[in-house]
């Protein structure tokens, strides 16, 4: 059985308390590994190691820091198949998706920030005869990175890479639900020659190991991705300690389909944005609003194609949708489907557990992709984040109405617009309350751009120089002439 270790001060070590949690494979429902159930003592060791390593890492030349990060990126790429398999088993996502998206993007995160730091610069302000100001940007110290289960390696590296590039040392916790790729990353860091203590990975529960990181006085900044309610708990602890905070939280993303769209493109992109990774991407569109003149046709075509999707063993080629990540999430999805029916929703397809694809997966957590109509934008199903393969469709009559529906939740992470009308595309993009707007596309990523949500979807921006700004403190120096 696979037994994970924490990565502290350059070594793979057992948890101080000696206790472990079960790791369950969602496609089989069976325990296949053990995870350190770390606590304050492990976090204290990790923070001490990070603190000790900070002086030397923050003074290591940018070229050297960059070189070791490029080696990590190369090793992730070289281990693509093993990492993709580990992620598929851990998470339930199709192996093909992990191979095509998650793992290459994990490697790209390290490579991008390894290069970005060599281009990072600070500003100077000339005050004429008085003098001038310049801005020094220096690493913060020990920082904490906490990530969720849905894109395990991809989101973990998205936080760690800019923190390390900027010269910080890191204590990081992956989700206890999907810890294996983080463990494999620790092996890669050792092989790549990352100095001891620069990155420390502590496995365990959020309420225990995660909470100990957030409240540790030596952890000066927290970069967190996860649910909005967890973000509130973390803020309550970290804000009075004046820690820097970046919170990437939940969403309930709208997908607006106008009658003047490229119909085929809108249809196929909407299917992907609804059900990729079993609907468990924070950027998935879960509320589809369609202009009334094409609504009936769109519902029919969308439903037919979704009904034909193959829910299968994540490890088999040809699987469109794998297993739901955990029994808890599976039950949550089913509870929301029941709620949707109580609220008067009509299940067009799905709404039920999927048949087990084979004997191996007999006890796995499989759901049919679910399409629901007849629910107004204000009902709970359309207001609360489900984070599963469940989408609703509802018609709109005017552009104003579409914008009002889209903006009518507490969330503001991402949104999608399908239209070929140039002015409309830009007008609606500007009016949407969301950190990210995709026009006639979805999930296209440019690592230089700011990434994050508004309203209850978070504060702070990741990506590009925004991330390097977050992971540095700016100091202004005035020089008199
Ligand atoms: P959670 O908020 O439950 O957990 C996220 C991470 O926080 C996990 O590592 C968790 O550990 C840890 N954690 C939980 N409680 C605490 C605490 N009190 N102190 C410190 N850490 C804690 O989210 P999920 O893992 O369930 O992920 C799904 C959520 O993430 C969805 O809401 C989704 O929208 C959001 N998300 C947002 C993204 C964005 O970019 N905005 C991207 C991806 C997901 P453990 O797992 O052990 O509980």
DSSP string computed for 24-76: EETTTTEEEEEEE---HHHHHHHHHHHHHHHHHHHHS-HHHHHHHHHHHHHHH
Q: Residue 459: CB within 6 Å of ligand 1?
A: no
With b meaning 16 or more CB within 10 Å and e meaning fewer, what string describes 84-110?
bbbbbbbbbbbbbbbbebbbbbbbbbb
**Can you tell me the distance from the alpha carbon of 275 to that of 282, in angstroms, rounded to the nearest whole number?**
12
Q: Residue 450: CB within 6 Å of ligand 1?
A: no
**DSSP code of 85?**
H
Catalytic-residue membership of 248 = yes
CA–centroid distance, residue 165 to ligand 1 (Å)? 24
Catalytic-residue membership of 145 = no
Q: How far is CA 178 from CA 14, 22, 210, 339, 426, in A?
A: 18, 11, 15, 28, 39
Q: Are 288 and 57 in contact (CB under 8 A)?
A: no
Query: Nearest residue CA, atom 9 of ligand 1?
Result: 175
Predicted pLDDT of residue 1: 87
**Can you tell me the distance from the alpha carbon of 167 to that of 60, in angstroms, rounded to the nearest whole number?**
8
Number of H helices and E strands in the chain, helices first, is 15, 21
Which ranges constitute the DSSP H helices of 92-242? 95-97, 103-119, 152-165, 180-192, 211-215, 228-238
Whether pTM > 0.95 for this model: the answer is: yes
CA–centroid distance, residue 263 to ligand 1 (Å)? 35
CA–centroid distance, residue 147 to ligand 1 (Å)? 6
Query: Nearest residue CA, atom 20 of ligand 1?
Result: 210
Q: Are 158 and 462 in contact (CB under 8 A)?
A: yes
Q: If residue 92 lies in a helix (H) or strand (E), which one and from where to where? A: none
Q: Are 13 and 186 in contact (CB under 8 A)?
A: no
Collapsed DSSP state (helix, strand, coil) of residue 242 = coil
Q: Residue 145: CB within 6 Å of ligand 1?
A: no
Q: Residue 182: CB within 6 Å of ligand 1?
A: no
Predicted pLDDT of residue 96: 98
> 148, 202, 383, 450: which to mutate for ligand 1, most atoms within 8 A of CB?
148
Pair type for strands 6-8 and 11-13: antiparallel
Mean pLDDT by 10 residues, the chain (481 residues): 96 98 98 97 98 98 98 98 98 98 98 98 95 97 98 98 98 98 98 98 98 98 98 98 98 98 98 98 98 98 98 97 98 98 98 97 98 98 98 98 98 98 98 98 96 96 96 97 94
Angle of the 422-431 helix axis to the 399-407 helix axis, nearest 10: 30
Q: Residue 387: CB within 6 Å of ligand 1?
A: yes
Indicate which residue of 189, 282, 284, 361 is catalytic: 282
**Can you tell me the distance from the alpha carbon of 261 to that of 270, in angstroms, rounded to the nearest whole number?**
12
Q: Residue 149: CB within 6 Å of ligand 1?
A: yes
**Can you tell me the distance from the alpha carbon of 299 to that of 288, in angstroms, rounded to the nearest whole number?**
10
């Amino acid at each position: 059985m696979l037994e994970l270790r924490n990565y502290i001060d350059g070594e793979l070590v057992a948890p101080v308390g000696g206790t472990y949690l079960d790791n369950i494979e969602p496609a089989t429902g069976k325990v296949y590994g053990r995870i350190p159930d770390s606590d304050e003592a492990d976090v204290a060791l990790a923070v001490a190691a990070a603190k000790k390593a900070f002086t030397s890492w923050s003074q290591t030349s940018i070229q050297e820091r960059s070189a070791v990060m490029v080696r990590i990126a190369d090793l992730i790429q070289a281990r693509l198949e093993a990492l993709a398999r580990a992620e598929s088993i851990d998470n339930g996502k199709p192996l093909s998706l992990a191979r095509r998206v998650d793992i290459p993007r994990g490697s790209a995160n390290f490579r991008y920030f390894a290069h970005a730091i060599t281009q990072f610069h600070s500003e100077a302000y000339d005050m004429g005869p008085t003098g001038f100001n310049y801005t020094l940007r220096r690493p913060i110290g020990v920082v904490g990175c906490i990530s969720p289960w849905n894109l395990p390696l991809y989101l973990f590296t998205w936080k760690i890479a800019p923190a390390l590039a900027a010269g910080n040392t890191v204590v990081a916790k992956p989700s206890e639900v999907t810890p294996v790729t983080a463990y494999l990353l620790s092996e890669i860091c050792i092989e790549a020659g990352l100095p001891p203590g620069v990155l420390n990975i502590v496995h365990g529960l959020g309420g225990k190991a995660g909470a100990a990181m957030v409240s540790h006085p030596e952890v000066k900044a927290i970069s967190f991705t996860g649910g909005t309610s967890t973000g509130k708990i973390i803020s309550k602890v970290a804000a009075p300690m004046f820690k820097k905070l970046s919170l990437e939280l939940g969403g309930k993303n709208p997908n607006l389909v106008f009658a003047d769209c490229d119909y085929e493109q809108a249809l196929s992109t909407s299917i992907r944005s609804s059900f990729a990774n079993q609907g468990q991407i924070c950027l998935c569109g879960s509320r589809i609003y369609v202009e009334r003149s094409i609504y009936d046709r769109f519902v029919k075509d969308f439903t037919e194609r979704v009904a034909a999707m193959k829910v299968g063993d994540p490890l088999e080629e040809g699987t469109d949708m794998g297993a739901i990540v955990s029994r808890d999430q599976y039950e949550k999805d089913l509870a929301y489907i029941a709620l949707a029916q109580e609220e008067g929703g009509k299940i067009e397809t799905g709404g039920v557990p999927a048949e087990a694809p084979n004997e191996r997966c007999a006890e796995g957590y499989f759901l049919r992709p679910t399409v629901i109509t007849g629910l107004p934008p204000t009902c709970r199903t359309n207001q609360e984040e489900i984070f599963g393969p469940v989408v609703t469709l509802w018609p709109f009559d005017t552009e104003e109405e579409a914008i009002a529906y889209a903006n009518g939740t507490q969330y503001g992470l991402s949104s999608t617009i399908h239209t070929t009308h140039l002015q409309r595309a830009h007008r609606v993009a500007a009016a949407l309350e969301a950190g990210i707007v995709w026009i006639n596309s979805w999930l296209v990523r440019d690592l230089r751009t700011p990434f994050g949500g508004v309203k209850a979807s978070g504060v702070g921006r990741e990506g590009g120089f925004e991330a390097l700004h977050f992971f540095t403190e700016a100091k202004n120096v005035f020089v008199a002439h």
